[in-house]
Amino acid sequence: MKILHCKEYGPIENLVWEDIETPEPGENEVVVSIKAAALNFPDYLIVQGLYQFKPELPFAPGNEGAGIITKIGKNVTRFKEGDRVYFMAPYGAFAEEACMNEFGVFPISDKVSFELAASYQMAYGTSYHALIQRGNLKKDDEVLILGASGGVGLAALDIAKAKGARVVAGVSTEEKAKICREYGADDVVIYGNGPSDKDSAKQFSAELKSKSTKGGYDVIYDPIGDCYAEPAFRSIGWKGKYLVVGFAAGQIPKLPMNLTLLKGASVVGVFWGAFTGREFEENQKNIEDINSMLLNGVIKPLISKKIPMEDAIEAISLIGSRGVVGKVVLINN
């Protein structure tokens, strides 16, 4: 079977497709024939050695997907061959097949396609955890979302609207702003390539603040960091929560600590992957609420592109160049 391998950290083009033996499941493992896999920003970072941790080389990128169970280990009780499943795995979703512990695998409803199942769980899981557990989001709160048309950003917009918040979406282009309006954004700020000096940062901050009806935001959701973070923090409201989700724009920003004091505000870290392991039951409740909102049409994950699995290298380049809205899904035919 074919699998994408990272043999050295560096440019995305260094990734290679290889043919390996179809895996045999261990006692507690299942083999999944992958139908669809989701592209996530960490895929772009990890193969360059720029992610929070560096896997030992060689490794296979890709963390989530959906497909059909083709083999089960002798101790597996929760699944049988032929079951339709979603999986979250440390490695190897950009492949024809994957072998993993049965506890990384979850059944999917017949009403949900493989593409949809693969696409929303990490993005919506992250944003739900960020807004609800870390941001303590309440109905009528006012939320600013940066990078609001991206994978986790659009999920945050969708969830915040479903929970009754007023949302201002920050994006780089008018085309992305249009998508956010379609997803219910109450207002948008188009920030282009972001502020480049003190004056433009001040102007950006004033523009963000002007879009708040309360003089400052209750919650700010930031998956981009860099030059956007400090001006955005300056638009936070009294006792506001600033959610640190990621640094897609490049640099990890620094913040003058006095800004938190002036607003009684908090900077709150978000690490969904760790949360799923450390607070398994709380995460299960989040997933139930997300799935219920999905099946009732309250949220609607956006798959903007379906790309053949063999084009995964090009897809990973695309997400690193601001070229993705919503989710891109890789498909095995």
Ligand X SMILES: NC(=O)c1ccc[n+]([C@@H]2O[C@H](COP(=O)([O-])OP(=O)(O)OC[C@H]3O[C@@H](n4cnc5c(N)ncnc54)[C@H](OP(=O)(O)O)[C@@H]3O)[C@@H](O)[C@H]2O)c1
* Binding of residue 119 to ligand X (CB under 6 A): no
Which residue of the set 44, 51, 124, 228 is catalytic?
51
**By the 8 A CB rule, do 127 and 221 touch?**
yes
* Binding of residue 248 to ligand X (CB under 6 A): yes
Contacts 24+ apart (CB under 8 A), 252-256: 252/225, 253/225, 253/226, 253/227, 253/228, 253/229, 254/230, 255/229, 255/230, 256/230
Structure letter (DSSP) for residue 94: S
> From CA 131, how far away is CA 223, in angstroms rounded?
12
* Binding of residue 247 to ligand X (CB under 6 A): yes
Amino acid identity of 102?
E
| 191 belongs to the catalytic site | no
Compare residues 27 and 311 and give the one whose CB is closer to ligand X: 311
Instruction: Give the one residue of 25, 62, 150, 195 binding ligand X; rule: CB under 6 A.
Output: 150
CB 108 to ligand X: min, Å: 21
Sole window of 65-73, 106-114, 241-249, 309-317 interacting with ligand X (rule: CB under 6 A):
241-249
Q: Dig out the tokens for 297 from the structure.
A: 């049409």
Instruction: Give the one residue of 149, 212, 235, 276 binding ligand X; rule: CB under 6 A.
Output: 149
Is the CA virtual torsion 246, 248, 254, 260 positive or negative?
negative
> From CA 91, how far away is CA 63, in angstroms rounded?
5
Q: Scanning residues 201 to 240, which ones bind ligand X (CB under 6 A)?
A: 223-224
Compare residues 25 and 195 and give the one whose CB is closer to ligand X: 195
* Binding of residue 144 to ligand X (CB under 6 A): no
Three-state DSSP at 199 gives helix
Compare residues 242 and 272 and give the one whose CB is closer to ligand X: 272
* Binding of residue 128 to ligand X (CB under 6 A): no
> From CA 160, how far away is CA 220, in angstroms rounded?
11
Residues within the interface to ligand X (CB under 6 A): 40-42, 122, 126, 147, 149-153, 171-172, 176, 223-224, 245-250, 270-273, 319, 322, 324
Task: Please give the positions annotated as active site.
Answer: 51
